[in-house]
Amino acid sequence: FPRDKNQEGRCFSTTYYITTKAEVKLTRTWLCYSLKLDSAYCKPCWLFADHSAPAYNVAWDWRHLSSKIEYHESSKIHLDSCLVYEQWRLHRTIDEDFETQIQKEKNFWRQVLEHLINVTLTLSMCNLAFRGHREVLGHANSGNFLSIVELLAKYDPVLKQLISMPSGSIRYLSHTIQDELIEILSKHIEGNIVEEIKAAPFFSVIMNTTQDISKTDQLSQIFRYVTIETDEKCGYWSASFQEICDQSTSGLKKIITCIEQKGLDISKCHGQGYDGASNMSGVHSGVQARISKKEPHAEYVHCAAHNLNLTLNDPVRGIPEVKHFYDAIERLYTFFGHSIKRWAMLSSFSSTSEFSRNITLKRLCPTWSSRYESLLVLRFWYLDIMKALTKIVLLSKNADECCEASALKKLMENLNFVFVVLQTKILEVVNAVSKLLQSKDTDLYKAAKLLHKATEDLAIFLNNFKAAKNSAIKLSEKWGGQTKFQEKRVRKVKRHFDELCEDTQSFFKVNVFYRCLDIISAQLTNCFQSLQTVADKFSIIQPNTLISASDEDLYKEAEKLANHFNKDISPVFPGQLPSFRSCLKSEISKQLSVKDLANMLIVDNNALASSFSEVCTVLLFLTIPITVASAERSFSKLKLRKNYLGTMGQERLRGLGMLSIENERARKINL
């Protein structure tokens, strides 16, 4: 360091960089020396202190430098400058500190919202109520939403910090936030599914309405479409619930508008399924007619399950003996079901029965195919029910109870009653078909085949009156009941010479047994003509038909199909189908359904799919609906969500319905 002659040869020294306190050496990192100015200065103050402050100036008074250094390093200006300097040295500005704090807050609230979204999804998917009588944390009736948040807060520090905030703080726990979360989540799911439907080549629409507990008509819209990912499958999407204020055909026009508002191309709609209501399925002004006007190739299929139910309704309404039989079953259930004592007595007999196998006396269900279970109980519990009725008649001290039990006992001892019980065979056939029709995997051809098989089974049963009668007598004899059909007191009238004499057995055989089966068989044949007609259009792509048909028939039927769906199938299809058969004949013979055929071509032999692009019209066949069972399933969610304890607005109902029905997609939401 240069020496200053004016200061008796004094100069700056490196010892100034070090200070010793209690024998501990500390470095003054702030002290700097300028060779050019031959002066000492404080680097932090030089950079960050006010330029008018004394600390900003340099020092060259070497005689008093030690005292000046000690004074300076304890000054407030120096300390503040050093703090700012350290922040700057570590790349930490004041703005950066603010940004860090903001980011910390952001992460906290992001975690809060993630937790609240998960609570919302859980309650929605489990069909549980959100709100309570007092929406206050810590209250006994605060509702499921707040109760779960409080429970999780015991184990989660984020929610613990949230609920410990002072009253009046923002916590995102109000019912308004719940509604917003429900709406955002449901719209996210809806958007994803709409994109899937747009990407699908075809789709079908299924609709049905029901009345909720507030006497409001709710429409359920189901879209059926085909997706191909790792596997070819039919997708179902429920567009949740829509309030219907006007059930006239003009009022239902907005249904079509809603489809278009979702961005779906109505020209891709190649199938529609409704129940028998005229405003939905009407051929002139119903929804069916309006969609067909926009897209003529939108094949209409009357709900097969509803049709099947109607085929059983008509015989019951028209045959007094069968109607009285079902009325008696209802009386029987009412008699035992309205008394705990009588029900316990019946259960005590049935528990020792060899047919106890988890069945019990059932109330009649509005769907006639489900009445099979009611008849099944009577068939296997016949002796137990008779024992219970007899015990009540002998031991009961209640006159009304004895009278009713005696009347039921007398009715059930009648061979007519026992014979109708054995008509479980009819309902057994119908019940099996009904359940298969409601399966999501059932296609149009399989449904038509099932109904044809049901008609054949009933025709066989029609010719087995003697065997059915013997079974009824055998069951009646176990109790000691009647073995002959009940004779009615008839009014004596003059009989003409050519009029046949008719006994009670012949009367029952002709007017009950044959009449019932004839009506059911005729209705099964007539009511499903439309289903068979649509299925016949696609008969050529059924695996068994595709293999067995001659080249001439194959080309002819393929040409018919191409002409009918000329917008979707090109004239190349009739020539492409025989080539497809010859190329993959061994593989086609292994397939059982159109769905299997589609899976074989599009998934298993994907490289050939482009070569047989027109054959991929099987996708069109798979989208055509069979029943409105999927819409009926959504109504079960409606009843769980909207009940007498849980009324709510339409938008909240729509959102919760979407999250509940599409719970698999809800679980996969990437938060």
Q: Tokens at residue 668, please?
A: 């996969």
Find, among 626, 642, 625, 655, the residue nearest to 210 by Cα: 642
Question: Do residues 59 and 41 lie in contact, with contact meaning Cβ atoms separated by under 8 Å?
Answer: yes
Instruction: Specify the amino acid at residue 24.
Output: V
Mapped onto helix, strand or coil, the DSSP state of residue 53 is: coil
Mean pLDDT, rounded, for 490-510:
64
- For position 131, what pLDDT does the model report? 84
- For position 53, what pLDDT does the model report? 67
Chosen domain end from 133, 149, 173 = 173
Q: Does residue 412 lie within any of the structural domains?
A: yes
Mean pLDDT, rounded, for 160-178:
88
Answer with the residue of higher pLDDT: 543 or 616. 543
Mapped onto helix, strand or coil, the DSSP state of residue 244 is: strand
Task: Return d(Cα 651, Cα 259) in angstroms, integer.
Answer: 18
Reported in sequence order, the residue ranges of 124-268 that DSSP labels E, i.e. its strands, are 203-211, 217-228, 232-244
Residues 6+ apart with CB under 8 A from 417: 325, 328, 411
pLDDT band at 580 (very low <50, low <70, confident <90, very high): confident
Question: Do residues 198 and 264 lie in contact, with contact meaning Cβ atoms separated by under 8 Å?
Answer: yes
Strand partners for 19: 26
What letter does residue 495 receive in the DSSP assignment?
A: P
pLDDT band at 462 (very low <50, low <70, confident <90, very high): confident
Task: Return d(Cα 275, Cα 631) in angstroms, integer.
Answer: 11
Residue pLDDT, tens place only, 588-610: 888 887 778 877 877 777 777 77
pLDDT band at 368 (very low <50, low <70, confident <90, very high): low
Answer with the residue of higher pLDDT: 275 or 155. 155
Task: Return d(Cα 341, Cα 346) in angstroms, integer.
Answer: 9
Q: Does residue 647 lie within any of the structural domains?
A: yes
* Together in a domain, 386 and 281: no
Answer with the residue of higher pLDDT: 67 or 284. 67
Q: Does residue 495 lie within any of the structural domains?
A: no
Residue pLDDT, tens place only, 89-104: 776 666 677 777 888 8
Which range among 311-315, 337-341, 532-536 has the greatest average pLDDT? 337-341
Mean pLDDT, rounded, for 264-269:
84
- For position 406, what pLDDT does the model report? 92
pLDDT band at 627 (very low <50, low <70, confident <90, very high): low
* Together in a domain, 329 and 470: yes
pLDDT band at 639 (very low <50, low <70, confident <90, very high): low
Q: Tokens at residue 381, please?
A: 């519990």
Residue range of the domain that includes 144: 94-173
pLDDT band at 116 (very low <50, low <70, confident <90, very high): very high
Answer with the residue of higher pLDDT: 60 or 269. 269
Question: Do residues 274 and 288 lie in contact, with contact meaning Cβ atoms separated by under 8 Å?
Answer: yes
For 8: left if phi > 0, alpha if psi spans -120 to 50, otherwise beta; the answer is left
Number of domains within the chain: 5
Give the lowest-confidence range in 134-138, 256-260, 293-297: 256-260
Task: Return d(Cα 295, Cα 322) in angstroms, integer.
Answer: 45
Residues 6+ apart with CB under 8 A from 308: 369, 430, 433, 434, 437, 451, 524
* Together in a domain, 120 and 187: no
> How large a percentage of the chain has pLDDT more than 70?
81
* Together in a domain, 506 and 582: no
Please report, for the domain that includes residue 238, its CATH number.
3.30.420
Question: Do residues 383 and 350 lie in contact, with contact meaning Cβ atoms separated by under 8 Å?
Answer: no
Q: Is the pLDDT of residue 498 over 60?
A: no
* Together in a domain, 165 and 207: no
Give the sign of the dihedral formed by CA 653, CA 656, CA 662, CA 665.
positive
Question: Do residues 17 and 31 lie in contact, with contact meaning Cβ atoms separated by under 8 Å?
Answer: yes
- For position 118, what pLDDT does the model report? 92
What letter does residue 512 receive in the DSSP assignment?
A: I
* Together in a domain, 506 and 637: no
Q: Is the pLDDT of residue 445 over 90?
A: no
Residue pLDDT, tens place only, 515-566: 888 888 887 777 667 677 777 787 888 888 888 888 888 888 888 888 888 8
| Helix/strand/coil (H/E/C) assignment for every residue in 566-622 | CCCCCCCHHHHHHHHHHHCHHHHCCCCCHHHHHHHHHHHCHHHHCCCHHHHHHHHHH
Taking the CA of residue 644 as centre, how many other CA atoms within 13 Å lie in the half-sphere pointing to its CB? 0
Q: Does residue 50 lie within any of the structural domains?
A: yes
pLDDT band at 147 (very low <50, low <70, confident <90, very high): very high
Q: Is the pLDDT of residue 353 over 80?
A: no
Reported in sequence order, the residue ranges of 171-330 that DSSP labels E, i.e. its strands, are 203-211, 217-228, 232-244, 269-274, 299-302
Q: Does residue 494 lie within any of the structural domains?
A: no
Question: In what helix (H) or strand (E) does residue 335 lie, and over which residues does it extend?
Answer: helix 320-337
Strand partners for 232: 228
Question: Do residues 427 and 372 lie in contact, with contact meaning Cβ atoms separated by under 8 Å?
Answer: yes
- For position 497, what pLDDT does the model report? 52
Q: Between helices 320-337 and 371-380, what is the axis angle to 10°?
A: 70
Strand partners for 299: 271
Strand partners for 205: 223, 272
Q: Does residue 80 lie within any of the structural domains?
A: yes
Question: Do residues 256 and 266 lie in contact, with contact meaning Cβ atoms separated by under 8 Å?
Answer: yes
Give the lowest-confidence range in 204-218, 245-259, 651-665: 245-259
Question: Do residues 330 and 363 lie in contact, with contact meaning Cβ atoms separated by under 8 Å?
Answer: yes
Total residue count of the chain as it appears in this document: 671
Answer with the residue of higher pLDDT: 474 or 400. 400
Mapped onto helix, strand or coil, the DSSP state of residue 342 is: helix
* Together in a domain, 190 and 328: no
- For position 228, what pLDDT does the model report? 66
* Together in a domain, 185 and 162: no
pLDDT band at 403 (very low <50, low <70, confident <90, very high): very high
Query: Residues 165, 170, 175, CA angle at the centre, nearest 5°?
Result: 115
Q: Does residue 525 lie within any of the structural domains?
A: yes
Q: Does residue 107 lie within any of the structural domains?
A: yes
Instruction: Specify the amino acid at residue 171.
Output: R
* Together in a domain, 381 and 434: yes
Chosen domain end from 27, 57, 89 = 89
Answer with the residue of higher pLDDT: 447 or 156. 156
* Together in a domain, 338 and 393: yes
* Together in a domain, 167 and 315: no
Number of helical (H) and strand (E) elements in the chain, helices listed first: 33, 9
Task: Return d(Cα 436, Cα 426) in angstroms, integer.
Answer: 16
Q: Is the pLDDT of residue 643 over 70?
A: no
Q: What is the mean pLDDT of the chain?
A: 78
Task: Return d(Cα 152, Cα 157) in angstroms, integer.
Answer: 9
Question: Do residues 546 and 561 lie in contact, with contact meaning Cβ atoms separated by under 8 Å?
Answer: no
- For position 626, what pLDDT does the model report? 65
Chosen domain end from 157, 173, 189 = 173
* Together in a domain, 570 and 646: no
Mean pLDDT, rounded, for 465-487:
79
Question: Do residues 593 and 445 lie in contact, with contact meaning Cβ atoms separated by under 8 Å?
Answer: yes
- For position 161, what pLDDT does the model report? 92
* Beta-strand pair 269-274/232-244: unpaired
- For position 115, what pLDDT does the model report? 93
Query: Residues 218, 224, 230, CA angle at the centre, nearest 5°?
Result: 140
